[in-house]
Amino acid sequence: MAIFEITRECMTPLSETSFGVEGIYERNDLQRHLKQHISVLSSDLMVISEEYGDWIDSNRRIDLLCIDAEANIVVVEIKRTSDGGHMELQAIRYAAMLSTMTFKQLIDAHASYVRPQGQTHEEAEAAVLAFLRWDEANEEDFAKEVRIILAAADFSKEITTSVMWLNDHEIDIRCIRLKPYRLPDGRVLLDVQQIIPLPEAADYQTKIRAKEQAEKEHRVERHEIRYQFWTDLLEYAKTKTSLFSGKKPTAAGGFGVSPGKAGLLLGFVTRGNDAHVELEIDYRDATKCLEVYRHFQQHSVEIGETFDGEIDWDQSSERRACHIRCFVSGGWKSPREEWPLIHKNLVDKMIKLEAAVRPYIASIPG
């Protein structure tokens, strides 16, 4: 979008130019100005070093090595070209290499950077501590993240697509466009715009990522609890029946074993605050499912007498599979002190269900 000069009489667009046309060089001009005015890129940065390259087995150098007010390392890569080259790949490599940097190494880097200005190692450390508002070095809170800032005249679609994808995957990487304009009197203006993520959307995206992270942590916690619920159930079940002797626990909502006939599964299921045992009838052919279900249903009186409890006969018109079930109170979300009783009830019901349907498995038609 153009920049305009406005007067009382008119509004005139300024002429876009390029760093090359204006004789503005990457390192000698852009990088030099930005390190002296780093707040142009972000208001919370301190320059630690320039052309940093203290690596083992590598001669690569970071344009500007910075830290932010939260003690995160920030990699700044600068290009004067209009496509950005492959700067995002460079920056990712640098970020990975810096991810193991210690606070002591950071101070050493800054001390080397300011030594030509006559500053001592102690003064360099004091400056960093003052910027961070720390009383003393704190390795535990240092460099919890490595951020990336890409600054260029413009960015190719490949870079912007990559950066948006990385942001979606919780990598803090930003694109800042540096666009020069020439005034009629020959002076050059620099329009600095953060284009990814848009500043207006950054807070919203941060909240979205926080929500997604919370949901991810909840899923992990849910799976861990469910896995333990089934682990405890199987340990108890193996003391009462050989049905599940070779079964391993799962983090899923249920599991089962074959009673020796294809299309049938004796299983445990929990959906949070309730659980049940079931005989699942599931063939690829819905007609076959219904035929086998009706075979068992013809013996519902005998099955009910043997089971000696309430049975739920589920012939769903919406699903292919049919079920013969018995519900119990409580599930994996129940307090852990209640789990032993829930497991006992489930195992007892499973033993009774298996005994009730077993006589009619061999006579399944077809």
pLDDT tens, position by position, 13-50:
899 999 999 999 999 999 999 999 999 999 999 999 99
C-alpha closest to that of 167 among 129, 133, 209: 209
- Compute the distance between CA of residue 119 and CA of residue 106 in angstroms, rounded to an integer: 16
Cα of 71 vs its chain's centroid, Å: 22
The strand pairing partners of 177, in sequence order, are 152, 193
pLDDT band, very low/low/confident/very high, at 206 (cuts 50, 70, 90): low
DSSP H stretches of helix in 171-309? 199-237, 286-297, 300-307
Helix/strand/coil for 189: strand
pLDDT band, very low/low/confident/very high, at 200 (cuts 50, 70, 90): low
Does the pLDDT of residue 179 top 90, yes or no?
Answer: yes
Number of Cα atoms under 13 Å in the Cβ half of residue 16: 7
Mean pLDDT, the chain, rounded, equals 90
pLDDT tens, position by position, 274-294:
999 999 999 988 889 999 999
Pick 268 or 221 by higher pLDDT. Answer: 268
pLDDT at 197: 86
Domains of the chain: 4-197 (3.40.1350.10), 215-360 (3.30.1460)
Q: Do residues 135 and 61 make contact, with C-beta atoms less than 8 angstroms apart? A: no
pLDDT tens, position by position, 29-39:
999 999 999 99
